[in-house]
């Protein structure tokens, strides 16, 4: 990946938290629990998922940079949503999401070409590079912000 493409993805990654906050602006309790379709997550569940995912992804990147060919272990995100008390307050999860993302973005800005070339193995998908990581997480929050908007749109005003 060239430096321009990388810089674009890093900027998108940095903007992910703001995209989610904008999607949540003015949200009602009814909208927090709305689902765009049966089996889809509610905005409340999405916020907690983003905290869990962001903390996990932050460690994944650090392991990719620091360790030689680490095994990046997958996790059952559906089970996390089911079992980790999604009725808890949103603010701590938003803060965890923002904190992990801000701290990680600062690392992304400082990485060397040798660090960008590092990789490991994902337990579910095989070869997993730092670039793969960035391509996944640059869009992750934006995708969920869109999901929040779609869920909110199912609630009649």
Q: What is the CATH number of the domain that holds 8?
A: 1.20.120.450
Any residues with CB less than 8 A from the CB of 140 and at least 6 apart, and which?
16, 50, 53, 57
Say which residue, 76 or 85, is predicted with more confidence: 76
Domain span at residue 122 reads: 3-152
Could you tell me if residue 75 is inside a domain? yes
Please report the beta strands in the chain, taking only residues with DSSP state E, as ranges in sequence order.
71-72, 119-122, 126-129
Could you tell me if residue 157 is inside a domain? no
Residue 34 pLDDT exceeds 90: yes
Could you tell me if residue 123 is inside a domain? yes
Alpha-carbon gap, residue 156 to 49, rounded angstroms: 25
**Which residues face 71 on adjacent strands?**
121
Q: Which residue has the tokens 């989610």?
A: 20
CA 96 to chain centre: 11
pTM (2 decimals)?
A: 0.92
Could you tell me if residue 72 is inside a domain? yes
Sign for the CA dihedral angle at 31, 34, 37, 40 comes to: positive
Confidence grade of residue 157 (pLDDT, cut at 50, 70, 90)? low
Domain tally, the chain: 1
Q: Note the pLDDT tens digit of each residue in 81-138.
A: 776 767 889 999 999 999 999 999 999 999 999 999 999 999 888 999 999 999 999 9
pLDDT at 47 (0 to 100): 95
Q: Is 71 exposed, middle or buried (0-12, 13-18, 19+ CB in 10 A)?
A: exposed
Report residue 122: phi and psi, to 5°: -85, 135
Could you tell me if residue 23 is inside a domain? yes
DSSP state at residue 157: -
pLDDT at 81 (0 to 100): 76
CA distances from residue 111 to 4, 7, 46, 53, 90 in whole angstroms, order as listed: 14, 12, 30, 22, 32
Could you tell me if residue 89 is inside a domain? yes
pLDDT at 82 (0 to 100): 76
pLDDT at 1 (0 to 100): 82
Could you tell me if residue 82 is inside a domain? yes
Could you tell me if residue 148 is inside a domain? yes
């Amino acid at each position: 990946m060239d430096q321009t493409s990388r810089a674009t993805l890093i900027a998108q990654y940095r903007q992910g938290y703001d995209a989610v906050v904008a999607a949540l602006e003015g949200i009602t309790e009814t909208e927090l629990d709305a689902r765009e379709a049966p089996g889809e997550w509610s905005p409340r569940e999405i916020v907690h998922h983003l905290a869990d995912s962001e903390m996990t992804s932050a460690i994944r990147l650090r392991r990719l940079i620091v360790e030689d060919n680490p095994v990046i272990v997958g996790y059952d995100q559906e089970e996390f949503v089911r079992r980790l008390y999604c009725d808890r307050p949103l603010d701590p999860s938003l803060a965890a999401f923002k904190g992990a993302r801000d701290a990680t973005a600062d690392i992304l800005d400082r990485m060397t070409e040798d660090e960008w070339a590092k990789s490991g193995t994902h337990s579910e998908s095989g070869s997993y590079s730092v670039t793969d990581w960035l391509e996944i997480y640059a869009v992750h929050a934006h995708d969920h912000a869109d999901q929040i908007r779609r869920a909110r749109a199912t609630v009649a005003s």
